Structure 1
Amino acid sequence: MGGRIRALRKQRGWSVQQLAEASGLSRRMLTQIELGQANPSLATVDRVARTLNTDFAALALPEGDAAGAEVDGTLAWQAPDGSQALLLGATKEPRAELWRWTLAPGGRYDAEPDRPGAQEIHHVLSGRLTLVLQTGPQVVAPGQSAVIASDQQYAYLNEDAEPVVFVRVVTGA
């Protein structure tokens, strides 16, 4: 992903400092991302993508797969406890992303708001997912699904002793 960011930045004729100023990120963070030395949040990658007039999937998926071709999954986020997010595929128009998430026991991911009108569908395969929303927590059990507006502060939380595995579909982000 870092190489794609660097290539798009250079295509625009921008320095790392110019991209930092345009995206609101530090030059140090962007340098670490480009060198593959950082584990940026999904929101950070999305911010860089928007600044470069592209989308998250175009930066994260292998070349040629951003339009929805079959992929095994691209690791987009990982925590030291083993929690991870795999981007499985995406479409350009209308925008949609398919994800497979695993949260270790006690794992939490704090998300930043998406664009206005964006939504997420979550379907829990195993474990129990707690969606921490502005309106209060919502627990989703195995085999259940939930739809949330993702243009708000929210988080994914695993309060149980077993990992939670869920599929996430993002639209309009």
Structure 2
Amino acid sequence: MAQQLGMRIRHVRTCKGDTLKTVAAAVGCSESMLSKIECGQASPSLNMLHRIAVALDTNVAELTTLVAAVDSPVQKGGERLVVDFGHGTRKAGSVRLERLIPPRRGQLLQGDIHILAPRATVSGSIAHLGEEMGYVLQGRLRLTLGEESHDLKAGDSFYFSSETPHSYMNPGDEVARILWVNTPATF
């Protein structure tokens, strides 16, 4: 995935006419790091990928979708696109997004199942326009909104304005699965 993701990032950046320096400054990373990502030699964290998407006026879904969007309104279990942010493995610490809605440019709603390995963390807070809601299907979730952390378990739900800086992690010893819906599409 790193190679294809890097190619997509480079393609979007060059189509916009942006330099490595300009995008790296907007993202808050070095030109060298951005170049390594574009060459598939490094994988960005989910937080960094979000910052790259914002700097390129797009979203994570558009950068990570490796297949053409399907025309069917139905997505069968086991056939949905899964994007892995654990450097291509399912090792401890990985975060995967199972796409419930095929990403398309201009869509207003995004729905995913966030799959977090035990102790997986989405480091750094993210803030953007929109609203988010979720439902913990399995395991545990620690959701941090601003300075306040909330420990959730299967059956718990949440809702917040996406403008509130937010991050999350799985503090448990089992895989966590969270139904996560946000608008507009961000990831």
What TM-score does the superposition give when structure 2 sets the normalisation length? 0.74
1:31 corresponds, among 30, 35, 44, to 35
1:48 corresponds, among 52, 56, 70, to 52
| SS of equivalent residue, structure 2 residue 63 | helix
Equivalent residues of 1:66, 1:92 under 8 A apart: no
Superposition map of 1:54-93 within 5 A? 54-65=58-69, 70=75, 72-78=80-86, 80-88=91-99, 89-93=102-106
Task: Output the CA distance in 2 between the equivalents of 1:115 and 1:165.
Answer: 23
Equivalent residues of 2:47, 2:123 under 8 A apart: no
Please state how far the C-alpha of 1:8 moved relative to its aligned partner.
Answer: 1.9
Task: Output the CA distance in 1 between the equivalents of 2:119 and 2:160.
Answer: 22
Q: Cα distance 1:51–1:87, how it changes in 2: closer, same or farther (>3 A)?
A: farther
Task: Output the CA distance in 1 between the equivalents of 2:103 and 2:71.
Answer: 6
Aligned to 2:110: 97
Aligned length: 172
In structure 2, list runs of 5 or more residues that go unmatched: none
What TM-score does the superposition give when structure 1 sets the normalisation length? 0.79
| SS of equivalent residue, structure 1 residue 78 | coil
1:161 lines up with 2:173 in the alignment: yes
Task: Output the CA distance in 2 between the equivalents of 1:8 and 1:151.
Answer: 25
Equivalent residues of 2:53, 2:63 under 8 A apart: yes
| SS of equivalent residue, structure 1 residue 75 | strand
1:121 corresponds, among 109, 112, 133, to 133
The one-letter amino acid of 1:51's match is A
Task: Output the CA distance in 1 between the equivalents of 2:173 and 2:183.
Answer: 31
In structure 1, list runs of 5 or more residues that go unmatched: none
Q: Cα distance 1:9–1:91, how it changes in 2: closer, same or farther (>3 A)?
A: closer
Please state how far the C-alpha of 1:63 moved relative to its aligned partner.
Answer: 4.5
Q: Cα RMSD between the aligned structures?
A: 2.9
Q: Cα distance 1:24–1:138, how it changes in 2: closer, same or farther (>3 A)?
A: closer
| SS of equivalent residue, structure 1 residue 152 | coil
1:146 lines up with 2:158 in the alignment: yes
| SS of equivalent residue, structure 1 residue 30 | helix
